Amino acid sequence: MDFSLSPEERQIRDTVRSFIEREVMPLEPDVLRNERAGGPGIDPDHHRELRQKARQMGFWGINTPEEYGGAALGPVMSAIIAMEMGRTFVPFTFGGNADNILYAGNAEQKKRYLIPTIEGERRSCFAITEPGAGSDARNIRTRAVKDGAEWVINGEKTFITGGNEADFVMVFAVTDPEKGANGGVTCFLVDRDMGWKSEPIPTMGQWGPAALVFEDVRVPESNILGELGLGFNLAMQWIGQGRYMIPARAIGASERLLSMAIDYAKIRKSMGQPISEYQAIQWMIADSAVEIESAKWLTLHAAWEVQQGRDARHASSIAKLHGAVMANQVVDRVMQIHGGMGYTKELPIERWYRELRLLRIFEGTDEIQRRTIARNLLRGHARLGTIGE
């Protein structure tokens, strides 16, 4: 087994790290001020400028096929880059990406939706979650009824990431109630000017999801993404493809936080000596390091399985569960090490504390990941004791 990166991969990682440290991290004080004043963390124009600067360096469409102008670095390098980007809480992402299921579109749909999204000219969102169907995606109630050459959509979606900013949505609706999820759910590409509305949902962190409302929204037949009735399969592709990216960013945040705790423990004195000399502090640091390292390799293994074209859902669930729990334990220890200062808004720890708590809920709660892992083992879909199989 060779766990080393190639010289090219190391160069990519180091270049991304340098970009984040040089161009993005210096924005952190401004981002905190803006967010605490109720505004966006980073000005949209500034965000676009940073993206273009990154594009000039070759960082555009990290995991986008080369035929669409992307770098096509693959899942493993995408995960490594996400770890580097997780080292800052500035809401910056490299441009040139589109949801993986948009590639299922026909030539006309790619021209109208996929390519403009990759170029940053359009913004999309993925809408399957409903007020009564969160983790139970098979229980969606939004309906689409055929009326001539159009489909009429009625229903509500909730906790939709990017729903307030998107100008089109990939929405999943029941088109054949008798068939259920397998054959009765269809994905539609729906432009905002077709009539759907969004409302922001306030949260304890900086994640700003939306509630989407569809009231007699008419969508042409040509806007079906993929095939009629096979939308649930597309949804599972979307959910399964990038789940390992969630713990990837959590690893970067946790490493940055632990570094802050180590530095602080060396200079903070109590009873005549640095608190780093106390075993209680040392154990918190050691436990955090072990958990971060284990999450890192679980995440990279899941990304590797995706890269090999394997069914990575089991590995991704393991990585997501462990990574989310790990990040929450680490940020809690880091706040404890900083004591009262960690609890204040003078430091960004409380900001990370609120942000990382989301990881145990969205994209599948801890409980859903445990359910998935257990079912895979109980039903024989996954086996214990395997290595490289």
**Residue that has been written with the tokens 């632990």 in this structure:** 258
**Where is pLDDT greater, at 39 or 312?**
312
- In the predicted model, is pLDDT for residue 376 greater than 80? yes
**Amino acid letter for position 104:** A
- In the predicted model, is pLDDT for residue 202 greater than 80? yes
Q: What is the pLDDT of residue 136?
A: 64
CA separation for the pair 115, 8 (Å, rounded): 28
- Percent of the chain predicted with pLDDT > 70: 98
CA separation for the pair 323, 248 (Å, rounded): 8
Whether 162 contacts 155, CB under 8 Å: no
pLDDT (tens digit per residue) in 258-275: 999 999 999 999 999 999
**Residue that has been written with the tokens 């994209």 in this structure:** 363
> Among 311, 195, 295, which residue's Cα sits nearest to residue 252?
295
Pairing of strands 185-191, 224-225: antiparallel
Q: With respect to CATH, is domain 242-378 assigned 1.20.140.10?
A: yes
**Which tokens in the block code for residue 371?**
């359910």
- In the predicted model, is pLDDT for residue 217 greater than 90? yes
CA separation for the pair 339, 10 (Å, rounded): 37
- Percent of the chain predicted with pLDDT > 90: 74
The CATH class given to the 7-97 domain equals: mainly alpha
- In the predicted model, is pLDDT for residue 321 greater than 70? yes
CA separation for the pair 249, 82 (Å, rounded): 5
Backbone angles phi, psi at 197, to 5 degrees: -120, 155
Where are the domains positioned within the chain?
7-97, 123-229, 242-378
Which of these ranges, 47-61, 92-106, 131-145, 203-217, has the smallest mean pLDDT? Answer: 131-145
**Residue that has been written with the tokens 């299921």 in this structure:** 101
Pairing of strands 168-174, 124-127: parallel
Going by the DSSP 8-state scheme, the letter that residue 21 receives in this structure is I
Residues 6 or more apart in contact with residue 323 via CB below 8 angstroms: 246, 247, 248, 250, 251, 295, 298, 299, 359
pLDDT (tens digit per residue) in 80-106: 999 999 999 998 989 999 988 899 999
Residue 78 parent element (H or E) = helix 74-85
What CATH number labels 123-229? 2.40.110.10
Record the pTM.
0.90
Question: Is 178 a residue of the active site?
Answer: no
- In the predicted model, is pLDDT for residue 41 greater than 90? no
pLDDT (tens digit per residue) in 115-173: 999 998 999 999 999 987 765 666 889 999 999 999 999 999 999 999 999 999 999 99
Q: What is the pLDDT of residue 240?
A: 65
Whether 172 contacts 130, CB under 8 Å: no
**Which tokens in the block code for residue 38?**
């109720």
CA separation for the pair 186, 169 (Å, rounded): 13
Among 255, 305, 355, 363, the active-site one is 363
